[in-house]
Amino acid sequence: MSKATTATGRSGSFKSLTEMVQLAQANLPRESWDYLMGGADTETTLKRNRLSIDSLQFRPRVMHDVHKVSVATSLLGQDMRIPVFLPPIGSVQLFEEGGGASVAKGAAEFGTLQILSSVCTPDYESVANASAAAKVYQLYLMGDQGWMDDIIARTLELGYVGFCLTADTQVYSRRERDILKGWRPPSGSSALQSDFGHQARMNWETVAHIKEKFDIPLWVKGINTADDASRAIDAGVDVVYVSNHGGRQLDHGRGCIDSLPEVVAAVDDRAPVVVDGGFLRGADVVKALCRGATAVGMGRLEGLAMAAGGVPGIVRALELVEQELVTTMALMGAASLDELNPAFLEAAASVVAPHVLSAFPLLDEAY
Ligand SMILES: Cc1cc2nc3c(=O)[nH]c(=O)nc-3n(C[C@H](O)[C@H](O)[C@H](O)COP(=O)(O)O)c2cc1C
């Protein structure tokens, strides 16, 4: 299917993830597309996320019964149909007007966990009631400790199953695609870009305070090193989340999958380690699981799925990731998630130049 023939309607009928990207691009205005796909400064971190995933190849095993491959898992007691969750996306309503509520519906229908951004619409109360999916609330600190405490207490009342601090965004980065157009995302942009004082002051005492005062699983998103992973465990963090914000914050950072081995070793089974950053295909997810991640976040995939098909688009995208995941594992000779380990991987030169869309080499072909 060529770009010229893509429809602007939204449905979950795309045949492949490549077609999902084509539909998303056809449906989005340039500003929203650039906001979704872009990164900070030179976009080196963004590309490095892909480069580090593409620089691992599989060492498959054979003659192993794979007639049934099981990929269901759970995270802190929350069932997940596949080890993939939907990360927080600010201004997600740009991609489909239902915003965080549509993601919540898609997450429930497919059977996975959603992390809701504090900078999108509708608000966290409406999203709590939008579906039965397990939801974590990610908050940017835009008020004092009392302000934060009130919100955590309210999310607990509303049934959120976790609370997430984003540590890689203490100040807002420079995203040139947006700057050059004079464009800002609609939700929280002024607070994020000019009044980021509380978020910039966030530190391990913030973590200690939350752990002392609230009985809610705490995720810290944006950890990249063994030292910070150990510190997080010492502070009582419940989920160590390896991320570089999809290359949208610190430029010239590490590829996230390359941070996994040292973080997983430092955490040493004391908490689940999850990861995001550049994961767009089922095989990408398998690589992170081989390196010890419990689950993988797919941020741009979530935005692309929303733009391509709204709620059915989210469900369809996750179904396709599931098909790719199961097929990859079967062809590697692994019938269950607990068989995955680092011995299935080895370093290799990437066969493609890294790019935000290099996971979709057929994008410009006319099928
Ligand atoms: C459009 C967009 C908006 C985002 N907004 C947030 C946000 O509000 N809070 C947050 O913690 N992370 C945010 N992120 C980062 C994602 O949660 C996630 O870390 C990232 O998308 C993972 O990389 P990937 O897009 O390559 O999968 C955003 C990412 C994108 C693409």
pLDDT digits (tens, 9 = 90+) for 300-338: 999 999 999 999 999 999 999 999 999 999 999 999 999
How many residues in total does the chain contain?
367
In this predicted structure, the answer to whether residue 3 has a pLDDT above a threshold of 80 is: no
Compute the average pLDDT of residues 348-355: 96
Compute the average pLDDT of residues 149-158: 98
Q: How far is the CA of 247 from the centre of ligand 1 (A)?
A: 9
Q: Whose C-alpha lies nearest to ligand 1, atom 1?
A: 36
Of 108-117, 179-188, 281-290, 308-317, the range with the lowest mean pLDDT is 179-188
Q: What does the pLDDT look like over 48-78, one tens digit per residue? A: 999 999 999 999 999 999 999 999 999 999 9
Q: What does the pLDDT look like over 159-192, one tens digit per residue? A: 999 999 999 999 999 999 999 999 999 997 565 5
Q: How far is the CA of 88 from the centre of ligand 1 (A)?
A: 6
Catalytic residue check, 245: yes
Q: How far is the CA of 243 from the centre of ligand 1 (A)?
A: 9
Question: Which is the CATH superfamily of the domain at 3-7+15-343?
Answer: Aldolase class I (3.20.20.70)
Q: Whose C-alpha lies nearest to ligand 1, atom 2?
A: 89
Provide the pLDDT for residue 367.
72
Ligand 1: residues within 6 Å at CB?
35-36, 49, 87-90, 117, 119, 138, 166, 221, 243, 245-246, 248, 276-279, 297-300, 303
Provide the pLDDT for residue 99.
98
Catalytic residue among 198, 245, 252, 355, which?
245
Q: How far is the CA of 66 from the centre of ligand 1 (A)?
A: 34
Domain ranges of the chain: 3-7+15-343
